[in-house]
Amino acid sequence: MIEIDKAKCQNCNLCFQTCPYGIINPGPHVKEAANAFCIECGQCYAVCPGNAVTVCGCPDEEQPGRPADIAAEAMLDLLQNRRSTRLFQPLPVADEHMEFLIRAASVAPSATNLRQVKAYVVRNTSLIGDIRIATTNYYASLQRMFTLPGASLLARIQGISRARMERVLPAMLAITNPPEGKDPLFYNARTLVVFTVPKSAGEETVGDAWIAAQNMVIAAETIPVGSCYNGFLSYAAHEYPYLKKLMGVSEDEKVVTSLLLGYPGGRYLRRPHREMMPTVWK
Ligand SMILES: Cc1cc2nc3c(=O)[nH]c(=O)nc-3n(C[C@H](O)[C@H](O)[C@H](O)COP(=O)(O)O)c2cc1C
């Protein structure tokens, strides 16, 4: 719901131009009938030079909306030098760093501004141990299934392509038969973050969880925290109710993705080559 303070309004109509739902008419005037459909994205508030717009549900405190002071080259450098960290110090991520990362994830774009993504931060070492055991057990049973006749057909039915199977299998074998002193599942990370959305959520909201996680990954590059997505945990948590329960994820939520976080236990000195993605120019 939007309100415009006419005394402050400079009639620039930027609020009209920026509203994605056509709730504001030129003038500007709020269309009362449409106001109920406001998604509280806050664009009209953010763009108003006179601070004349109030969006219900948003606290009435003016926040600076300045552009980030990051050079393009520095941004590209940060993105290019980001690595999935698989070397972690045996330390959980400290509160101050974790709060920064949650804030970074919380400001990610959200389809229709629904904001239904929830993050579970697990730093309890013994719980991480239990999650590791449950996840490993899950893959051990999956592995047994894969050795049964008709397994590749089953995988295809589940939407797992042959190419993906071939890439996933060696890692799965490492997880279920870890070499002495190695943790091929969590790389000894002492912080896990699991992103969930309501079970009923559609594709767009599932996408929100990915975007929030990626915000966290990028933000982690600016503090001494390394990150690595963990598809094994996310997939298992999606399929294995016991694991969800262990992490305290409720029945009516689904796990979308998860991250390992921690203080890097080594540095990546070179940047592996990455091809430019296929691009169609029109
Ligand atoms: C959705 C997703 C799931 C992933 N799952 C895992 C995982 O379970 N274990 C792991 O070691 N790396 C995982 N990764 C990291 C990828 O292997 C990594 O991004 C890729 O090898 C490229 O390396 P880079 O991130 O350092 O550029 C995952 C990445 C993504 C995007």
Asked whether the beta carbons of 189 and 47 are under 8 A apart, the reply is no
Mean pLDDT of 204-217: 98
Q: Is the same domain home to 121 and 225?
A: yes
Number of domains in the chain: 3
Do both 165 and 255 map to the same domain?
Answer: no
Phi and psi at residue 229, in whole multiples of 5°?
-60, 150
- At 30 the three-state DSSP class reads strand
Per-residue pLDDT reduced to its tens digit, 48-91 = 999 999 998 666 666 778 778 899 999 999 999 999 999 999 99
Give 256 or 155, the one with higher predicted confidence: 256
Q: Are residues 208 and 113 in the same domain?
A: yes
Residue 140 and residue 118 in one domain: no
Mean pLDDT of the chain: 92
- Asked if residue 155 has pLDDT above 80, the reply is no
Region 141-158 average pLDDT: 76
Query: Looking at the predicted structure, is the pLDDT value of residue 147 above 80?
Result: no
- To test the pocket of ligand 1, the residue of 81, 84, 256, 260 to mutate (highest count of ligand atoms within 8 Å of its CB) is 84
Is 65 domain-assigned?
Answer: no
Residue-level pLDDT at 57: 64
Mean per-residue pLDDT for 201-214? Answer: 98
Residue 195 and residue 111 share a domain: yes
One domain for residues 164 and 195: no
Confidence of residue 202 (pLDDT cuts 50, 70, 90): very high
Mutational pocket test of ligand 1: of 228, 257, 273, 275, the residue with most ligand atoms within 8 Å of the beta carbon: 228
Q: Which domain holds residue 145?
A: 134-176
Instruction: State how far Cα 103 lies from the chain centre.
Output: 12
Domain match, 153 and 224 both: no
pLDDT of 225 strictly over 80: yes
Going by C-alpha positions, the residue among 89, 96, 79, 69 that lies closest to residue 215 is 79
Q: Is 195 in the pocket of ligand 1 (CB under 6 A)?
A: no
- Same structural domain, 107 and 211: yes
**Cross-strand bridge partners of residue 258:** 194
- Mean pLDDT computed over 162-185: 86
Instruction: Kindly indicate the confidence band of residue 168, based on its pLDDT and cuts at 50, 70 and 90.
Output: confident
Say how far apart CA 4 and CA 26 lie, in whole Å.
Answer: 12
Q: Are residues 43 and 151 in the same domain?
A: no
Whether residue 253 is found in the same domain as residue 192: yes
Based on the domain organization, do 169 and 120 belong to the same domain?
A: no
Q: Is the pLDDT of residue 165 over 80?
A: no
**pTM of the full structure:** 0.92
